[in-house]
Structure 1
């Protein structure tokens, strides 16, 4: 059965699936998934109600492999530092995708339910559609909209505890805040872009993040114009965004898919919605379960520390998916 689950709401009764973002300004309640590469899926459901997350079977996936091993990832970090030295970028996000064989009896609803219990997150969402299955536990808001007011809450800076955050983390966050301000400025009313929160520490299971808030009032236009001005999210690309995206395309050997894209919901009737940055997300594809992890690279980055940050971000999710709470040491893969 197709369904979407977000914020305590269960959506069933699949009525329409489209790749046209303009549908989000029409009518009804929509689940939205946009891959990092820009493939759009908007699914309208007719029955949306308060309900628990659907339960389902789950079994531990097979051994995990990674699209970039430690040596390749550290080499990528150094390449980005070289590009920063040459003035090509100021920052770029380097990611890798983990993959494991998905057992036949495992279901995305089973994994989504495990994530809600084992790693609750402010923007958790599970989507099951023909050809698309995603279980997301994102802590990061890409875009929230309430009428003409839009808000983004970029995350940059990650450590086990607040004491472990470095000056590099704050500098990284401020760079991305400037980028998000510029992106929203393309569609905002003049003078309406503001930053009510800068580099605030947020605690999440197993780690802390630096989070900022950028808010604006739309000058006109709907979701197509807003997404076109801001996608892909700045926190998972870099600055300048166009140069960072080009560099990412050179360094990363596989598509990111829903990871680092947008995952969320839109209620077109009330002109409200919330799209998360598609981090901390599993997706099922071609008999495999995939999960992405990455880090923002600046001139102050240490390649080994950045590799370990990707490990830290993935570790708890490997434990949740493993089914036994033990997890695996990613450094041994």
Structure 2
């Protein structure tokens, strides 16, 4: 029997009554409402819930984790950026997204329900989801859409380009965004109806708590099922690089630990209505082996300054780590605005 603590929360909906857990993506084309986590390495968790209703995010105990450590320190990260730039010079890749994973001891009694509630207050995000089922505990505050589906219409909204304000965005950010849009168009084109792939929006500036992103929209029509759609497009192009196969091989050499749910796919699918939304698993915490983990990274191009890219990873992590520490959440009201 599934434990009573299992739940999922996404898009203002609380899912309870865990009915099934499977590693088969084909289940998403069957029946029911499913919460989905696919790790960057391809491990699939699909959890079907019997009861789904509008609700506020459930609360829960949360305590600040211990001291954070990084899978790559600044010097190793900078060296990795230089290695990618050398690979660009050699024509191996055009762009690659170098990531690092932060880890801290999980405080006794702390659970992802409490952390997810803090994120909902302190860092609201359009594709946020909290999930706790046997073997998987994730609190995600992703701003990036990997795949949204409504019947035959599918859409992806890759992010490339990050700054504190729009004035911080550079020409290299726009070039990087366009490169990834081409990659996403190609990925979706593998399963899309001929001639249906379009780009309704290119390099729009989108504000999020503490920073801004450049975001584009790629849309297509397809009759493919979820297994075929994910197989054609995973891992998401914005967190890998171009060409994707070459970037994946290079990143495997440079990143010393698995990314896990970070940079994977996190979201929900309603098989009965043929609707769903999977986020790119950025701005994501997960509990594993007594540790709380969090990933951060940056897209590297020929124009990248290595230490600036390191600072970008720090910027992306800063607000989320503050919320997890407890300090920021205590100083935020229900709208996520700073209290005077």
Deviation at 1:228, TM superposition (A): 0.3
- Residue 123 of structure 1 aligns to a residue whose secondary structure is coil
Residues 37, 176 of structure 1: alpha-carbon distance in 2 compared, 3 angstrom cutoff:
same
Aligned to 1:325: 328
Q: State which of 138, 144, 152 in structure 1 corresponds to 2:142.
A: 138
Deviation at 1:288, TM superposition (A): 0.2
What's the C-alpha RMSD, in Å, of the aligned pairs?
0.9
Q: Please report the TM-score for the alignment, with normalisation by the length of structure 2.
A: 0.95
Aligned to 1:185: 189
Report matched runs for 1:79-94 at 5 Å: 79-94=83-98
Residues 326, 306 of structure 1: alpha-carbon distance in 2 compared, 3 angstrom cutoff:
farther
Aligned to 2:13: 9
Q: How far apart in 1 are the matches of 2:325 and 2:58?
A: 20
Number of aligned residues: 326
Deviations 1:94-137 (A, max 9, x none): 00000000011211100000000000000010000111100000
Q: How far apart in 2 are the matches of 1:19 and 1:326?
A: 34
List structure 1 runs of 4+ shifted beyond 2 angstroms. none
Matched, 1:239 2:277: no
Q: State which of 232, 242, 266 in structure 2 corresponds to 1:263.
A: 266
- Residue 306 of structure 1 aligns to a residue whose secondary structure is helix
Q: How far apart in 1 are the matches of 2:65 and 2:192?
A: 45
Deviation at 1:296, TM superposition (A): 0.3
Q: Please report the TM-score for the alignment, with normalisation by the length of structure 1.
A: 0.97
Matched, 1:152 2:148: no
Deviation at 1:222, TM superposition (A): 0.6
Q: State which of 186, 194, 201 in structure 1 corresponds to 2:198.
A: 194
Report matched runs for 1:33-182 at 5 Å: 33-182=37-186
- Residue 272 of structure 2 aligns to a residue whose secondary structure is coil
Q: How far apart in 1 are the matches of 2:57 and 2:17?
A: 16
Unaligned 5+ segments in structure 2 are: 331-340
Unaligned 5+ segments in structure 1 are: 328-333
Q: How far apart in 1 are the matches of 2:45 and 2:38?
A: 6
Matched, 1:225 2:232: no
Deviations 1:17-57 (A, max 9, x none): 00000000000000000000000000000000001111001
- Residue 325 of structure 1 aligns to a residue whose secondary structure is helix
